[in-house]
Structure 1
Amino acid sequence: MDSQIATTTSGYRKATLRIVPFLFVCYFFAFLDRVNVGFAKLHMLSDLQLSEAVYGLGAGIFFIGYFIFEVPSNLILHRVGARLWIARIMVTWGIISAAMAFITSPTMFYILRFLLGVAEAGFFPGIILYLTYWYPAERRGRIISLFMAAIPVSGLIGSPISGIILDMSHGTHGLAGWQWLFIIEALPSCILGVILFFFLTDRPAQARWLTAPEINRIEADLAAEAKQHDSHSVGAAMTDWRVWLLSLVYFGIQMGVYGIGFWLPTIVKSSGFTSDTVVGFVTAIPYLAATIFMIIMGRSADATGKRRLHVALPAVLGVLGLVGSGIFASNVYIAVTCLTLATMGCITALALFWSLPSAFLGGFAAAGGIAMINSVGNLAGFLSPYMVGLIKDATHSTSPALYVIAAAVLIAALLATRVPRIVDR
């Protein structure tokens, strides 16, 4: 018995050390390339004479392309393997993200943001699906939390870097700082995509760095869990009311995440900070707190098994933070504190959410169901920034938009408590 436990532990430890840090870095740049337009906005809008509403639509239209191609992309990944397909995704999105540096009109802005969504479609749900090939549900909460910590870390590290790039590179070789921002932050994605093709292993059975007993132990755990899954076909997943309920929960959480992600630099700068570098460092504060909170809550979710509660409670914290940041918008210190609470809550709820659908979806149902939940939920990435832009243009304040976003997150928290108890096992 002791030898079996040792084999199980060593196999998962090896898999975690090899897979998770690398995927973490990949997702770090994926999220950075997705939301760095929030920092580019600080100067891009005035240079190109774009309105706040145009920016909001352009930032959000990414998710229309993402929505259309999400499910097909994940089904292709399930057939051809994660190694090939995720590598393709990363290289193409890196190229398109760099091309953002050369937009000259709203139309070009819309087209490239749409194409960026098409290119990246399938990356995140593909990684979530890929992790189900390696970890049973009882281990997946902390693994997904570690992987998704790349979101707050991209803000923690990426925000200061983005601010420094804007300040230091402006005018270099005739390009504005926001243009260099897109180019410099896109290059790592292309490089990592090539490395990923040679580094990842699609399934445990193909991992030469695992021993035969370690492979057998992992596959036995996954096979035992597969017998408990209710759905095994794409059609079954698409008609499962639980999948649609989870889509609504995810939509509400994403309203908060993208409302914060695309507008946080603007909110911070409007609080009185003038230097882009300082804005970058102040913006990093909420993401630092969110990184720590996410890891703590991920461990707690695995230890207690109360996964619904670990989604709902952080979401409520996000609601309180969003409302507070609107009420105290004129006080920079209180506003940043509230934004920190909002970021902690929304991003943690987002990470822990993904332990819910994988508790009852298996096989092609997992590929299609996870992709559908992600694509429907990410429509919030279109609605949230566009709505904020419209409201800010109309009211000259972001506070009313923050209240609307808070209401969406609160609904998500309430719906999370209605997810069947099967996810808590």
Structure 2
Amino acid sequence: MSGLTKSVPISDVGRSAYRKIYRRIVPLIMVMYLLSWMDRVNISFAALSMNNDLGLTATAFGLGAALFFVGYVLCEVPSNVIMQKVGARIWLARIMVTWGLVASGTAFIVGEQSFYVARILLGVAEAGFFPGVLLYLTLWVPSQMRGRITALFLMSAPIATVIGAPLASAAMVGLNGFLGLAGWQWLFLAFGIPTVVVGIAAFWLLPSTPALAGWLSNEERSFLVDQLNRERQESIGHKAAASALSALRNPRIIGFALAFIGLSCGSYILSFFLPQVIDSFQSRYGVKFSVMEIGLLTAVPFGIAAITMFFVARDSDRRQKRLRYVVGGELVAAAAFVLATLVDTPVLSMVMLSIAASGIYVAIPLYWELPGQYLSATTAGAGLALINSTGNISGFVGPYATGALKTATGSFDSGLILAAVALTIAAVAVSLVSRRPRRRLSESQSEQVESSYTESPQGV
């Protein structure tokens, strides 16, 4: 990318444009992803009573959790291709409404088979949302400013657990038996119905591009359009890809996808099984926890992770360093998972699990900044979808293997070791596939990045 134009000084027009993006777009996409994450993983809380009510073994639960990714992987690339044709506003709203309806319907499953069907349908409904939002951000924010916004978006995942864990526990306890429904059934309804409402709101509140945003001034709109056009015209790598198909055949993109398998494996094992891991402390350490206490304890590692990921992403944007934080976060998380199986008190176990969560959530948002250095505008949608859908293969393997290992060994330790191994492989893989960025920020852009932290659009 070239520098900023002299006629549009970053000190007024540029900063004003970014401030409006932070106020108008970022909060909404954070809420959208928060609901996405809760509708995906609320079975981890429901399992505390649902498994017994429906007669699900740990293996059956792990398989059901994993089957979400079958529909997700199969439909993600087509979903993002359609999004590029119809626009972000229409397609993201459609995705949310559909998955909200399916998530609500999960309240009425009656056994293993209906559980499996509901999870597959949820994956089909949600396919394309995550890479779709990442693609949407590339249509609004130049790359050197995108790291912190991406981190804020992805921060919704740990925040979802911080907020959702106590709410999920309260719903399961307080609404149990109301209108003849079990607490875990109300849990699915409590998050599925708001998803439909937010999806409808997103249709009206998310402009597809800056050119269509009525709340931007003409100068702000011109600033963003100019910066994004300059970025798209920049040659990436040896030769810009000419089609989405070329992204699907790009060995570097495939390499990033394989690296993401390990990272997402650790993330999903933690997200799907942490409430049950904490519940297992009762037999392992001789302590007693209520369902509400398990929900509150589950929120702790994710709360620490949310704070950590924001400040690390902010520092990464300032320094324009991504790879070192990605690899470091993965290795720290791997070590913490191993140590969590070796300590002999619940307090130390929670400390290790909190460190593991922080390492994972430091790595995830910054990881997503790496592939963008090698994707052209024409291949961004299919490329990001390919990486995410391929990486989410581990969303099937990790939870299913963890459930099977729990059934076979009676302990979640093997699952935590599996997460550690996957994260270590991810750290090695992303190091091998990454290269020093071929683009360098111009002097004026470097000043833009630095000034964004002295006078932040968020005031932080």
**Which TM-score band applies after superposition, normalised by the shorter structure?**
over 0.9
TM-score by structure 1 length?
Answer: 0.98
C-alpha separation in 2, matches of 1:264 and 1:359: 34
Alignment deviations for residues 170-214 of structure 1 (CA, whole Å, 9 cap, x no partner)? 111111110110111111100000000011100011111111111
Partner of 1:400: 414
The equivalent of 1:191 in structure 2 is 197
Secondary structure of the 1:222 match is helix
Q: Distance in 2 between matches of 1:41 and 1:347?
A: 24
- Deviation of 1:424 (Å): 7.8
Cross-structure match for 2:101: 95
Match of 2:455?
Answer: none
1:48-92, Cα deviation, whole Å (9 max, x unpaired): 111111100000000010000000000100110010001010011
> Residue 9 of structure 1 aligns to which amino acid in structure 2?
R
| Equivalent-residue separation in structure 2 for 1:52 and 1:165 (angstroms) | 23
Aligned residue in 2 for 1:288? 303
The answer to whether the aligner puts 1:252 opposite 2:252 as a matched pair is no
Matches of 1:209 and 1:177 in 2, distance apart?
Answer: 43
Distance in 2 (CA, whole Å) between partners of 1:302 and 1:308 is 12
Shift of 1:232: 4.1
Find the counterpart in structure 1 of residue 140 from structure 2. Answer: 134
Secondary structure of 1:421's partner? coil
Distance 2:439 2:279 in 1: 42
Counterparts of 2:256 and 2:8, CA distance in 1: 39
- In the alignment, what sits opposite 1:110? 116
Residue 300 (str. 1) matches residue 300 (str. 2): no
Structure 1 pair 355–167 and aligned structure 2 pair: CA distance change class (3 A): same
The 5 Å alignment of 1:257-276 reads 257-272=267-282, 273-276=288-291
Whether contact under 8 Å (1:162, 1:280) holds in the other structure is yes
Tell me what 1:4 maps to: 9
Distance 1:155 1:232 in 2: 41
Does the Cα contact within 8 Å between 1:59 and 1:382 map onto a contact in 2? yes
Aligned letter for 1:266?
Q
Q: Percent identity?
A: 39
Partners of 1:142 and 1:295 within 8 A in 2: yes
In structure 1, how many angstroms separate the alpha carbons of the residues matched to 2:224 and 2:204? Answer: 22
1:38 and 1:265 in contact (8 A); partners too:
yes
Shift of 1:129: 0.2
> Is the Cα–Cα contact under 8 Å of residues 231 and 361 in structure 1 kept in the other structure?
yes
Distance 1:120 1:100 in 2: 14
Q: How high is the TM-score relative to the length of structure 2?
A: 0.90
Higher helix share: 1
Task: Judge conservation of contact 2:59–2:403 (CA < 8 Å) in 1.
Answer: yes
The whole-number CA distance in structure 2 between the counterparts of 1:130 and 1:165 is 34
Alpha-carbon distance in 1 for matches of 2:99, 2:299:
24
Counterpart for residue 223 of structure 1: 229
Q: Match for residue 372 of structure 2?
A: 358
How far apart are residue 9 of structure 1 and its match?
1.1
Q: Which segment is superposed worse, 305-314 or 148-157?
A: 305-314
Indicate the SS of the match to 1:104.
coil
For the residues of structure 1 that align with 2:359 and 2:438, how far apart are their CA atoms?
20
Pair 1:37-2:47 in alignment: no
Residue 322 of structure 1 pairs with residue 355 of structure 2:
no
Structure 2 contact 48–276 (Cα < 8 Å) conserved: yes
2: CA distance, partners of 1:83 / 1:280 = 34
Matches of residues 138-217 of structure 1 in structure 2 within 5 Å? Answer: 138-217=144-223
**Contact map agreement 1:232 1:363 (CA 8 A) in 2:** no
Secondary structure in 2 aligned to 1:364?
A: coil
Cα contact 1:153–1:288 (8 A) shared by 2: yes
* Whole-angstrom CA distance in 2 between matches of 1:109 and 1:118: 15
Distance in 2 of aligned mates of 1:379 and 1:423: 30
- Distance in 1 between residues matched to 2:168 and 2:267, nearest whole Å: 19
Q: Which residue of 2 aligns with 1:313?
A: 328
Structure 2: unaligned runs, 5 residues or longer:
1-5, 283-287, 441-460
What is the one-letter code of the residue matched to 1:286?
P
What secondary structure is seen at the aligned counterpart in 1 of 2:437?
A: helix
Do residues 422 (structure 1) and 437 (structure 2) align? yes
Alignment partners' CA distance in 1, 2:17 and 2:80 = 27
Counterpart of 1:360, as a letter, is Y
Distance 1:231 1:354 in 2: 19
Q: Following superposition of structure 1 onto structure 2, how do residues 331-346 of structure 1 map, counting pairs within 5 Å?
A: 331-346=345-360
> Offset of 1:415 from its aligned partner?
1.7
Once the 2 structures are TM-superposed, how far is the Cα of residue 363 of structure 1 from its aligned partner? 2.2
| Conserved 8 A contact 1:74-1:122 | yes
Taking the aligned partners of 1:59 and 1:379, their CA distance within structure 2 comes to 12
SS in 2 for 1:417: helix
The answer on whether the counterparts of 2:64 and 2:116 sit within 8 Å (CA) in structure 1 is: yes
Q: Give 1:239's aligned residue.
A: 249
Aligned to 2:59: 53
Q: Deviations over 1:96-144 (max 9, x none)?
A: 0011111112110111100000000000000000000001110010010
CA distance in 1, matches of 2:158, 2:337: 17
Q: Distance in 1 between matches of 2:245 and 2:176?
A: 52
Q: Cα distance, 1:364 vs. partner?
A: 2.9
* Runs ≥4 residues deviating over 4 A: none
Q: What is the rounded CA distance, in whole Å, between the counterparts of 2:242 and 2:176 in structure 1?
A: 53
Mark the CA change 1:89 to 1:417 in structure 2 (over 3 Å): closer, same or farther.
same
Gap change, CA 1:112 and 1:303, over 3 Å in 2:
same
Residues 164 and 417 (structure 1), Cα distance of their counterparts in 2 relative to 1, 3 Å cut: same
Measure how far apart 1:380 and its partner are.
Answer: 1.0
Number of aligned residue pairs: 424
Distance in 1 (alpha carbons) for counterparts of 2:220 and 2:248 = 35
For residue 324 of structure 2, what is the amino acid of its counterpart? L
One of 81, 84, 94 as aligned partner of 2:87: 81
Q: State the Cα distance separating 1:382 from its structure 2 match.
A: 0.8
Look up the equivalent residue of 1:309 and give its one-letter code.
R
Q: Which residue of 2 aligns with 1:367?
A: 381
